[in-house]
Amino acid sequence: MSSEKFLDEKWIKKIDRETQHLIDRIGVDRKTLDEVFDKSTLLSIGKLISDRLIDYLDFPISTGKEANIFRGMTPNKKLVAVKIYRISTSTFKNISKYIEGDPRFRYIDRSRREIIYEWAKKEFKNLEILKNINVRAPTPIKRINNVLVMEYIGDTEKPAPLLKDVQLKDPKKIFNTLITFISTMYKKAGFVHADLSEYNILIHNNKPYIIDLSQGVLLEHPLSHEFLKRDIHNITRYFKKFNIKKDEKKLFQQIIQKKDIEDVNQQK
């Protein structure tokens, strides 16, 4: 037996034990976890463990249409978020329009698995963009195939809640910060989130953090301005319930101006 095959089997057995422990701890049925942890995914997690980037998965944070997110623990007891894009049950309904036209990726003639790997790679790169321009988002740590490890946003008891689930202390400040984030992404990085809403913004310590970056596009994408308009609309629509009313067209024109954006206190 080759050493590589031995290591593969070793880590599959280790992850399988961890999977059973996960079932025992949180009561998730085996069928659900089997949809997430196929053999390739188990090997990717095994690689993360062998590289000492994670020690084990703790409990699910969220389940989306394309991915499951787990809280994980590193060997030095630091909390991380581990996002696993599902291979077998992921939907491709909307993926193509975000990858096609993005000069960073080739979408044509890819298998389902390869497309999912590209999707995870896209989110990792987009998280790096936000980190480089100081827009609050989880810091990316490592990606292997369809598994993405990133900063955990929350405390030891529970993850940070979504914007839609929070009673805001200062809605106007949060709104202004989010509009500034949209503008900063556009002007400093030529980047648009493309799906920004109350469902993919976390609130932690009264500050917003942007999440779910896989669909984000560069300005070279032919639909980037349409996506930008939609992001602005989603944020202004949500904050209307706080009696914050802004002209979407005016915000759009202000954002697409060529001059550099000034730094604001909300980002610090």
Please tell me the predicted confidence (pLDDT) of residue 170: 97
**Torsion over CA: 258, 260, 264, 268 (sign):** positive
Please tell me the predicted confidence (pLDDT) of residue 90: 55
8 a catalytic residue? no
231 a catalytic residue? no
Q: How much helix, strand and coil, in percent to the nearest 5, is found in the chain?
A: 45, 20, 35
Q: Which of 58, 102, 195, 231 is catalytic?
A: 195
CB-based contact 163:173 (threshold 8 Å): no
For residue 45, give the nearest of 68, 66, 14 by alpha carbon: 14
Q: Take residue 130 and report the two structure tokens written for it.
A: 């936000």
DSSP symbols for 132-201: HTT---PPEEEEETTEEEEE--B-SSSBPPBGGG---S-HHHHHHHHHHHHHHHHHHH-EE-SS-STTSE
What's the chain's length in residues? 268
Rounded Cα–Cα distance for residues 48 and 11 (Å): 10
Using 50 as the pLDDT threshold, list the residues of the chain that sit under it: 1-7, 26, 261-268
pLDDT in tens, 28-60: 556 656 678 787 888 888 889 889 999 888 888
Please tell me the predicted confidence (pLDDT) of residue 184: 97
Please tell me the predicted confidence (pLDDT) of residue 63: 83
Q: Could you identify the residue written with the tokens 């997110």?
A: 69
pLDDT in tens, 75-112: 999 999 999 998 875 555 566 667 666 777 665 566 77
Q: Which of 212, 231, 247, 260 is catalytic?
A: 212
Ordered domains of the chain (ranges, CATH): 3-151 (3.30.200.20), 163-267 (1.10.510.10)
Rounded Cα–Cα distance for residues 71 and 186 (Å): 31
Please tell me the predicted confidence (pLDDT) of residue 6: 46
Dihedral angle, C-alpha 187, 151, 69, 73, nearest 10 °: 170
Residue 147 one-letter amino acid: V
CB-based contact 141:127 (threshold 8 Å): no
Rounded Cα–Cα distance for residues 140 and 101 (Å): 24
